[in-house]
Amino acid sequence: MKVLVLGAGQLAQMMYLASAPLGVEVMAVDVKDNKIVNPLSKSPYAIDLEFAISDANAITAEFEHIPEKLLALVNDSGKFFPNVNSILAGADRVREKQLLDACKVANCQYRIISKLDDLQNITADLGERIIFKASRDGYDGYGQWRMKSEQDLESLSQIFEQLDLQGVPLVAERMADFTREISVIGARDNNGNIACFDIAENLHHEGQLHLSIAPATKLLSDTIEQAQSIFTTIAEALDYTGILAVELFEMPNGSLLVNEIAPRVHNSGHWTQQGSDTCQFEQHIRAVLGFPLGSVQRQKVTAMVNIIGCTSFSRDLISIPGCHLHWYGKSLREKRKMGHINVVADSYQDLASKLAQLSQYLPSEYFPLLATQAEKLE
């Protein structure tokens, strides 16, 4: 069987690796030129897009920023999952907000900015600490501007003046004073069955995910219920098939606010490769092909550490028991996700000690990050 994935990055690569044991071949579309490539070797196949679409048993996407023409083309095949609406809700923050509001799912208070005038009296609504997000093409914190006080408004207006606000509006959000960030990732199959993985706790730095711990520490049963109910509401509203990720802010009073959704496998679910009976990549492939979902039973406790913008580390880190390297084979660029490490341990304490060991193999920038996390776990 064959699954065609729109996008040829690391997520397609990991779907490819997880599908092979099932006898499923994953092919990827490089959306820059619509060439069909092997997601692991990146070598092109001698077939064109049309043939690949007709030949595939299912088509899916590894990212949401897909050219509209291509999206329409795969939609016409009747084999595209999750579906176009879900991809658009993930790709466009205005549509995402409309979805969350229509589902009555709590999210950060916001205002849409489609002309400079819309900034009038904004602090009266949202307070002085505001995060402005381009409604399209944002990821890893790109396309965001943070306002710390009303005084920043003038310089921000000058920046916004240069943007095509009518074409690509901004979503201005009140800065949430969350206690931490968590995410719920799960799958919905084409019969409507839902299986969520354990909730992960996520540490971001400069808008980019650096580390996840699963399960999140000190989780209340009420938080788990809230998160799963939010997941179900959104997945059902979208009539979703496949893996869906929901990023959440946990507030001091225990309530959850949705930050954003991702209509695909997600970085904060990479821990499932070693930490769960079925990983998110295999689960997604199962769902889009109409196979039964796999067990989401968690094995031990897991941390996932992103390797960002660097190649200077010792591969010997795999000598630490429970440490697994996933290297994407990409060329080096600043802030680029180059790979990740999953660390599996028997307890949080054991995990803390393994993270401390791990820091000996990584560049010194990682010390504060791993030390802070290790301290929290002990």
Q: Which of 60, 46, 68 is nearest to 11 (CA)?
A: 60
Separation of alpha carbons 340 and 163, rounded Å: 34
Q: Is 376 annotated as a binding residue?
A: no
- What does 204 interact with, of Mg ion, ligand ATP, none (CB < 5 to 8 A by kind)? ligand ATP
Query: Which of the stretches 159-167, 175-183, 233-241, 279-287 binds ligand ATP when contact is defined by CB under 6 A?
Result: 175-183
Query: How many residues interact with Mg ion (rule CB under 5 A)?
Result: 2
DSSP track, 261-298: EESS--GGGTTHHHHBSS-HHHHHHHHHHTPPPPP-PB
**Does 176 interact with ligand ATP (rule: CB under 6 A)?**
yes
**What ranges make up the beta strands (E) of the chain?**
2-6, 25-30, 35-37, 58-61, 110-113, 130-134, 144-147, 170-174, 180-188, 194-196, 200-205, 208-214, 242-250, 256-262, 301-308, 323-327, 337-345
Separation of alpha carbons 110 and 33, rounded Å: 36
Residue whose CB is less far from Mg ion, 98 or 311: 98
Q: How far is CA 186 from the centre of its chain?
A: 12
84 DSSP assignment: H
Q: What φ, ψ does residue 284 adopt, rounded to 5°?
A: -65, -45
**Does 172 interact with ligand ATP (rule: CB under 6 A)?**
no
Q: Is 144 annotated as a binding residue?
A: yes
Separation of alpha carbons 39 and 16, rounded Å: 7
21 Cβ neighbours under 8 A, 6+ residues apart: none
Shortest distance, CB of residue 304 to Mg ion, whole angstroms?
A: 15
Query: Which of the stretches 37-45, 148-156, 169-177, 223-231 binds ligand ATP when contact is defined by CB under 6 A?
Result: 169-177
Q: Is 90 annotated as a binding residue?
A: no
Pairing of strands 58-61, 110-113: unpaired
Shortest distance, CB of residue 171 to Mg ion, whole angstroms?
A: 12
Tally the residues of the chain: 378
Query: Which of the stretches 129-137, 162-170, 256-264, 279-287 binds Mg ion when contact is defined by CB under 5 A?
Result: 256-264
Shortest distance, CB of residue 264 to Mg ion, whole angstroms?
A: 10
**Does 205 interact with ligand ATP (rule: CB under 6 A)?**
no
**Does 138 interact with ligand ATP (rule: CB under 6 A)?**
yes
- What does 141 interact with, of Mg ion, ligand ATP, none (CB < 5 to 8 A by kind)? ligand ATP
Residue whose CB is less far from ligand ATP, 207 or 294: 207
Query: Which of the stretches 59-67, 158-166, 185-193, 243-251 binds Mg ion when contact is defined by CB under 5 A?
Result: 243-251
Separation of alpha carbons 22 and 24, rounded Å: 5
Q: Which residue in 175, 224, 310, 371 binds ligand ATP (CB under 6 A)? A: 175
Two structure tokens written together for 269 = 């679910």
- What does 62 interact with, of ligand ATP, Mg ion, none (CB < 5 to 8 A by kind)? none
Residue whose CB is less far from Mg ion, 260 or 282: 260
**CA dist 340 → 202, 208, 311 (Å):** 14, 13, 11
- What does 131 interact with, of ligand ATP, Mg ion, none (CB < 5 to 8 A by kind)? ligand ATP
**Does 25 interact with ligand ATP (rule: CB under 6 A)?**
no
Two structure tokens written together for 88 = 């658009």
Q: Residue 295, Cβ neighbours under 10 Å: how many?
A: 10
Residue whose CB is less far from Mg ion, 215 or 263: 263
Q: Is 50 annotated as a binding residue?
A: no
**Does 204 interact with ligand ATP (rule: CB under 6 A)?**
yes
**Does 131 interact with ligand ATP (rule: CB under 6 A)?**
yes
Shortest distance, CB of residue 270 to Mg ion, whole angstroms?
A: 14
Angle, vertex CA 315, rays to CA 311 and CA 318, nearest 5: 135
Residue whose CB is less far from Mg ion, 35 or 95: 95
Residues forming the site for ligand ATP (CB under 6 A): 108, 131, 133, 138-142, 173, 175-176, 181, 204, 207, 247, 259-260
Binding site for ATP, by residue number, is 93, 133, 138-144, 181, 204, 259-260
Binding site, by residue number, is 93, 133, 138-144, 181, 204, 259-260
Residues forming the site for Mg ion (CB under 5 A): 247, 260
